[in-house]
Each structure stands twice: as C-alpha cells, then as structure tokens.
Amino acid sequence: MPIVNVMERFVEQKMDEILPTVKCCTCEKCLDDIRAMALNKLPPKYVSTDKGKLFSKLNSLKEKQNGVDIHIAVLSAIEFVAANPRHDHSQQGDEKKSED
C-alpha cells in the first residue's frame, strides 16, 4: 500500500488556486520554494491508500480541514517567495529538469 502525504496535494491545489490571483514568479525554483515553505508550516498528513481511493479520501479530509490553515500557509509562502525570490534571473524559466 503506497503511503501518500496528502498535504502535498492540498498545497498544490491551493497554489493553483492562489497563484493566478497574485503577483508572484512562477518559475520552477519559486514554485518549489513555495511548496517547501508551505509544507514546512503544515503538519504532514499521511494516508495509506491505493490510487483509486485517494481522490475520495482527499475530499473527505479536505472537508474536515476546511482549507483555512492551508490557505494561510500557502499564501504566506507565496508572499515570502514573491518578496525574496531565490531564482537566478539570468536563468529564469530556463532551468534544466534533471529531477523526475
């Protein structure tokens, strides 16, 4: 049974929701920083489930969570990265994808 940190999914969903509404660089490095920073503020939530059941599990967990803490964590991470981007401007958007 695979173990999944569903918090990662919540953070990604929330980033998709918030990023179009704010001014923030969305290069890979900044997105990674936002994701990492938000996840560091949030407790991991591991579930063991097969992929077919993950979606319904996500939805039921989401209802309990109400999305509020996640929203705050992601929003503050975006604000921080927007103000302190770590990307190299000369290489922006031109990063090699060496990871899977």
Q: Least Å distance between CB 15 and Zn ion? A: 13
Selected binder of Zn ion within 4, 15, 24, 30 (CB under 5 A): 30
Instruction: Say how many residues touch Zn ion, by CB under 5 A.
Output: 5
- Applying CB under 5 A, the span of 37-45, 47-55, 69-77, 87-95 interacting with Zn ion comes to 87-95
β-pairing, 3-5 with 46-48? antiparallel
CA–CA distance, 45 with 54 (Å, rounded to integer): 13
Q: Least Å distance between CB 23 and Zn ion? A: 12
Residue type at 89 in one-letter notation: H
Residue type at 45 in one-letter notation: K
Residue 34: count of CB within 10 angstroms of its CB: 29
CB distance 5 to 46 below 8 Å: yes
Question: Per rule CB under 5 A, is residue 34 in the interface with Zn ion?
Answer: no
Query: What character string, x for contact with Zn ion (CB under 5 A) and - otherwise, covers 37-76?
Result: ----------------------------------------
Residue type at 61 in one-letter notation: L
In the complex, the residues that contact Zn ion under the rule CB under 5 A are: 25, 27, 30, 85, 87
